[in-house]
Chains A and B, each alone.
Chain A
Amino acid sequence: MEKQVVISGFGGQGVMLAGELLAEAGKEENKHVTFLPSYGPEMRGGTAYCDVIVSDENIASPVISFPEAAIILNLPSLTKFEPLMKKGGIIILNKTIIPQNVSRKDIQACEIDALNMAKELGNEKVTNLILLGAYVELEKTVSVDTLKKALKLFLTGRKEKLIPINEQALDAGVKAAKAYSSR
């Protein structure tokens, strides 16, 4: 079993953190993982994205040319990745700030009002984890519990107090995905 996902958004939206967290969780579940960030000048304010692969087997190429799943946090990312999606793939979309719908009919679109949900939780910076929570609920790449365990490795020291709200964000994402699935 191999799961591939592209996570894409503005620099500062926590794209890399979400990707690293997913990779760490995959490692925790004794799977093979690769995390490949885009790098270069575009990381400063432009579109930043990362490719994460979680697999039961050795991973050959860490590059995802045609994603089967994508977590999309802003409009430029949708423009970039929608045409590249594999048929039958799924986009998990930060609906709050993306005024456009997914136009392709051969892929699924799970639209989540993630930024507003994050604001309700009290911190808009957890938008990324709401979407990540939704992704793992839909794709079962890793369990939400492992993600929560991995969170503790990333949020240490002064950031430790942010663990509960990030856990709530993951749960909120799972809930939103369940609502989407039962539609």
Chain B
Amino acid sequence: MSEKILMKGAEALAESAIRAGCMAFFGYPITPQNETPEYFSRRMPQVGRVFLQAESEVAAINMVYGAACTGTRVITTSSSPGISLMQEGFSYIANSNVPCVVVNVMRGGPGLGDIAPAQGDYNQATKGGGNGDYHSIVIAPHTVQEAVDLMFDAFELADKYRIMVVMLVDGLMGQMMEPVEFREWVDVKKEAPDWATVGQGNRDHRNIITSLEILAEGLEKMNIALQKKYSEINQNEKRYEEYKMDDAEYGLTAFGTVARISKTVVDMARNKGIKLGLIRPVTVWPFPNEIYEKRREQVKSFFDVEMNEGQMLIDVRLAVEGKRPVFYYGRLGGVVPTAEEILGEIEKKIGGAK
């Protein structure tokens, strides 16, 4: 670990990607994440790597796709409307089994929406978004330090499974500053992996990367292989954090920025004698359903809080399987709920019962 540096989230994300061995950035400007490409544009030439501002998000993701086909560690960052434009590329990348990292600094939607922090892209990220049966690994850090650490993991996971890893953050995390420590620089292999399309060279086989298979039986096989990969990821890569859940009678649950605010809610509730705890999914796909299955035996009810109309709520309810009530509270359009209002909503639901 190096010394702590006070950095803006958007810039810390870029620096951590560089240290994690990211060799190329392709992207298109969009608020509220422009500090990230701007930082890449300064730093990438300094370390002899590629920065390219594409003509659109559509082009950017296809540049990422091309770079990923060479086995190069590659990233793009964007915000909700830009991410929508990239969905076609995500689907191709999924069925081509190539690795890359995508950061979505979510803003209020739908449509052009606003530039305030939001979480309305949860379904798009975790349930698909592009065409076909596919998943990306989706991680949702709640502090700048966690985002920095998960960036290293994101590239490792992407390479391990040859899959796209999406990091969901929001403008609040991008704009805020916190002291961060970076892990050691990752040494990047010079030679392209055996599966990469860089020209056949001395290989005894040529490589073809495609998401196309015109015969239904053949495409079914490709799909089955994808699903096998997804179930392996489901087995191995679920992550979550619990905060004061050991003796909790009520389970708060949230991801990203809202989860961070929710920690304050837990502390405030406990000061009032309410035994509240927090379950915070770190991977939102795969979704850590087992921890809800475990805690539903212990708590009286769950409270799901999001900056959307209850998108993760569906996953939480599936995990709780109707065994306990799951209440929802959320704000829309980029409004960030305060700790005080979340606690107020919880108190309303549990009444005098402590």
Q: Do chains A and B touch in the complex (CB under 8 A)?
A: yes
Residues of A in contact with B (beta carbons under 8 Å apart): 20, 23-24, 27, 32-37, 39-40, 60-63, 65-66
Write the B232-270 contact mask toward A (1 if CB under 8 angstroms, else 0): 000000000000000000000000000011011001000
Min distance, Cβ B279 to any Cβ of chain A, angstroms: 15
A62 to B263, CA, bound (A): 11
Interface size class of chain B, counting residues whose CB lies under 8 Å from the partner chain: 20 to 34
265-314 of chain B: CB within 8 A of chain A: 267
Given contacts A27-B4, A63-B336, A65-B339, contact A37 B176 (CB under 8 A): yes
Task: Report if A66-B340 is in contact (Cβ < 8 Å); known contacts: A20-B6, A61-B264.
Answer: yes
By the criterion CB–CB under 8 Å, are A62 and B176 in contact? yes
Q: Does B172 contact A (CB under 8 A)?
A: yes
Q: Mark B108-138, 1 if CB is under 8 A from A, else 0.
A: 0000001110000000000000000000000
Give a binary string over B166-197; 1 marks a CB under 8 Å from any A CB, 0 the rest.
00000110011111000000000000000000
**Chain B interface mostly:** mixed
The DSSP consensus for interface residues of chain A is: mixed
| Bound-complex Cα distance A63 to B260 (A) | 10
A39's partner among B175, B177, B179, B267 (CB-CB below 8 A) is: B175
Instruction: List residues of chain B with CB within 8 A of the CB of A60.
Output: 260-261, 263-264, 267, 339
Are A61 and B339 interface neighbours, CB within 8 A? yes
CB distance from B344 to the nearest CB of A (A): 12
CA distance A62 to B176 in the complex (A): 8
Contacts of B260 in A (CB 8 A): 60-62
**Which among A33, A37, A63, A66 has the highest number of chain B CB atoms within 10 Å?**
A63
Contact A65 B338 (CB under 8 A): yes
Partner of B175, one of A24, A37, A61, A65: A37
B29 at the interface (CB under 8 A from A): no
Asked if A62 contacts B338 (CB within 8 A), the reply is: no
A37 surroundings in chain B (CB, below 8 A): 175-176
**In the complex, which residues of chain A have a beta carbon less than 8 angstroms from the beta carbon of B175?**
36-37, 39
In whole angstroms, how far apart are the Cα atoms of A40 and B114 in the complex? 9
Query: Contacting B178 at CB < 8 Å: which of A34, A39, A63, A66?
Result: A34
- A35 to B10, alpha carbons, bound, how many Å? 13
